Amino acid sequence: MDFELDQQQRDFQRTMREFVDREIKPVASAMERSGEYPTAIVDQMKELGLFGMTIPTEYGGLDLDAVSFAIVFEELSRGWMGIAGTLGTHSLSCWMIAQFGTEDQKDRYLPELATGVRRTGVGLTEPDAGSDLQGIRTTAILDGDHYVVNGRKTWITNARHADPLPVLVKTDPNATPAHAGMSILLIDADTPGFEVLRDLGKLGYKGPESCEIVMDNVAVPVANLLGGVEGRGFKQALPALESGRVNIAARAVGIAQAAYDAALTYSREREAFGQPIAQFQAIQLKIADMATQVQAARLLTYWAASVQADAGRADMPSGMAKYFASEVAINNALEAMRIHGGYGYSTEYVVERLYRDAPLMAIGEGTNEILRTLIARSLISGRDMIG
């Protein structure tokens, strides 16, 4: 068994790490506090080709392997988890279009999405439907050569920049089971009746916007039905969410690593009772636990990415990775704050931002409570085995 990155992945990791250390870490805290949108960083990510990570090379994308994909989000989140959000749902959306889109849809959208000239997100969550996607209420009723869309979406990252935005709708609201009547429509940003209402205030995850969207009699051409066939939306969204869970797991690893790095550095520099606090056994135990947990989370995340690349689906591995890594991120952020003492509560140190960013990892792409249930069901049913 090979637990090491190959040379190409190591080179890519080094490039990402240098970029984050040079361009993101020095400005992240100040930009996060001011609420400034990270336009300059986004432009540099465009130059690196990161907006084309999940797009085939024939459309101008990088078509990264799954582990390198995880490395991008780990390294970006080590510097600033918020900046990773500008790529997260964009990459999911691009993957869906590349996997399920018609040739016309791929030709129309993927080349500009690969360069970042266009950007996108994913319109799944609604005020009354988060983890339960079959509970969505947004409808799309066929009227000639258009669908008329009515509904509301919330917590949509990149909402103000998404063009198009893939939106999960019910093309047959009366279908049984409900998922059989669900489809995804690619809605262009300038379509009349499509409106971004407001940015939602957040504890952390600053940088990218998270918005509410309303669709009031939005006319979407039949040509923008993802894949060209109704009733496939749920099956198109689920594998994308698996990739999203690897994305979230990798972000959590980045947060956990940053928290560990900050705690280790501070424990070496901070003195109490005539010696660095790193010399006290209580601090050493925390440091040891943090380091072990972050490495375990990293290996679990890379494993899930590898399984997804090899098998095409990775329900249980991606769920395990996202669940475990997010809990490690939360724990490491809290332990780093405790090691910093009063300074950990200060905005002058990075740990208070990590402490605010980490909880989202336990919520995004399916809450950890839902994922634990799904993991258990896979094990009990015998679909997946461990050992």
Query: What pLDDT digit, counting tens, does each position of 295-311 carry?
Result: 999 999 999 999 988 87
The secondary element (H helix, E strand) that includes residue 216 is strand 210-221
Specify the amino acid at residue 187: I
User: How many Å apart are CA 121 and CA 137, to the nearest integer?
Assistant: 19
pLDDT at 1: 60
Report, as ranges of residue numbers, the positions in the chain whose pLDDT lies below 70.
1, 312, 385, 387
Hey, which residues are catalytic here? Answer: 365
pLDDT at 240: 86
* Bridge partner residues of 150 (DSSP): 139
User: How many Å apart are CA 11 and CA 151, to the nearest integer?
Assistant: 45
- pTM here is 0.94
Question: Is 227 in contact with 100 (CB distance < 8 Å)?
Answer: yes
Instruction: Sort strands 271-272 and 146-157 into parallel, antiparallel or unpaired.
Output: unpaired
C-alpha distance from residue 327 to each of 152, 173, 269, 284, 345 (Å): 31, 37, 27, 21, 20
User: What structural domains does the chain harbor?
Assistant: 7-115 (1.10.540.10), 133-231 (2.40.110.10), 235-381 (1.20.140.10)
Residues near 3 by beta carbon (within 8 Å), at least 6 away in sequence: 299
Which pair of tokens denotes residue 234? 């749920």
pLDDT at 387: 64
Which pair of tokens denotes residue 63? 């078509």
Q: pLDDT tens-digit profile of 123-180? A: 999 998 877 888 999 999 999 999 999 999 999 999 999 999 999 999 999 999 999 9
Q: Residue 29: count other Cβ atoms within 10 Å of its Cβ.
A: 16
pLDDT at 308: 87
**Cis omega (within 30 of 0) on the bond before 177?**
yes
Residues near 356 by beta carbon (within 8 Å), at least 6 away in sequence: 203, 204
